[in-house]
Structure 1
Amino acid sequence: MALRGWSGVVRYGVPGLLLGLAVMGGFGTVRGPSALAEGLPGAERSRAAAAAGNDASGTIAFSTSSNGGTSQYLYLIDTKAHAFAIYRIDPSNPKGAVQLAGCRQYQWDMKLSQYNNAEPDVASVESMIKTLGQPAR
């Protein structure tokens, strides 16, 4: 097989290269959100990075670390295509393994009025609001 020596490059290098290009294409010349959010605790850093990652191309990118710090996650959200992807990055792996954890087009999800929600459900709240909004007779 001609690509036998290339297996490491194909497995780790190509996804990393594509991911890097996607992130760079999303930011253009804008300073990366991680640089803008330095010094903030994890959850706040993610929120600040999400806000900073908004740009005219419709791509939002931000990263978080897992609780144990063994993995990092990169989130790419394409607001124009109504899709997102989550990548797991293993910094302990010397080859810098990048793995697609999940992706989805969410345009149809946004059409649901509710799904998998805790009580009260949307219909109950709507009913209460309509009842409370009626003038007294």
Structure 2
Amino acid sequence: MKQKIIGVAVGLTLLGSVLGWADGYPAFSPSTAEPPAAAGAANDLIALSHPAEGHFQQVTVIDSKRRVMGVYHIDLRTGQIELKGVRDFSWDLKMEEFNGGSGPAPSEIRAMFAAP
């Protein structure tokens, strides 16, 4: 159990560092010796984590400004991080009604709202 917790902590730390680096901001600033701002503060990122089926931790990262989300699985045995999917959900939110099922693909949703 202790190894799982350490694996998740390391995985989330790595994910946070990668996301901070990719955004052009260091995850930790030695000059100020302060931790990065909380998710959602300056960079509009929200991260949600919960156990997934098997030996995985699922981390969902939401960019509320760009309306894009990404889903990652972290293998609790190895610490390997795998990107499972990325989606711009801005078009999804334009639908007035949707109630389960496999649903339309993102390109089909965009086409519903395309100008004639």
The structure 1 residue matched to 2:19, chosen from 10, 19, 22, is: 22
| Runs of at least 4 residues off by over 4 Å | 16-19, 23-27
Match of 2:83 among 100, 107, 112: 100
Percent of paired sites with the same residue: 28
Tell me, what secondary structure is at the counterpart of 1:72? strand
**Cα-to-partner distance string for 1:77-101 (whole Å, 9 max, x where unaligned):** 00011000000000112xx211011
Shift of 1:23: 5.7
User: More relative contact order in 1 or in 2 (CA 8 Å, sep 6+)?
Assistant: 2
What are the superposed Cα offsets for residues 19-48 of structure 1, whole Å, 9 maximum, x if unpaired?
A: 533168688233xxxxxxxxxxxxxxxxxx
| Structure 2 counterpart of 1:40 | none
Give the 3 Å change call, closer, same or farther, for CA 23–75 of structure 1 in structure 2: farther
Match of 2:93 among 85, 110, 122: 110
- CA–CA distance in 2 between the matches of 1:54 and 1:65? 22
Indicate the structure with greater strand content: 2
Find the counterpart in structure 1 of residue 46 from structure 2.
Answer: 60
Partner of 2:76: 91
Distance 1:107 1:91, change over 3 A: same
Q: Which has the higher helix share?
A: 1
> What is the root-mean-square deviation of aligned Cα atoms in Å?
3.0
Q: Which has more radius of gyration?
A: 1
Residue 22 of structure 1 aligns to a residue whose secondary structure is helix
Q: List per-residue Cα deviations over 1:30-68 (Å, max 9, x = no partner).
A: 3xxxxxxxxxxxxxxxxxxxxxx4323211012111255
Partner of residue 49, structure 1: none
Aligned match for 1:73, one of 58, 63, 67:
58
Gap regions ≥5 residues in structure 2: 1-12, 28-34, 102-116
Secondary structure at the residue paired with 2:17? helix
Instruction: Count how many residue pairs are aligned between Structure 1 and Structure 2.
Output: 78
TM-score by length of 1: 0.47
User: How much has 1:76 moved relative to structure 2?
Assistant: 0.5
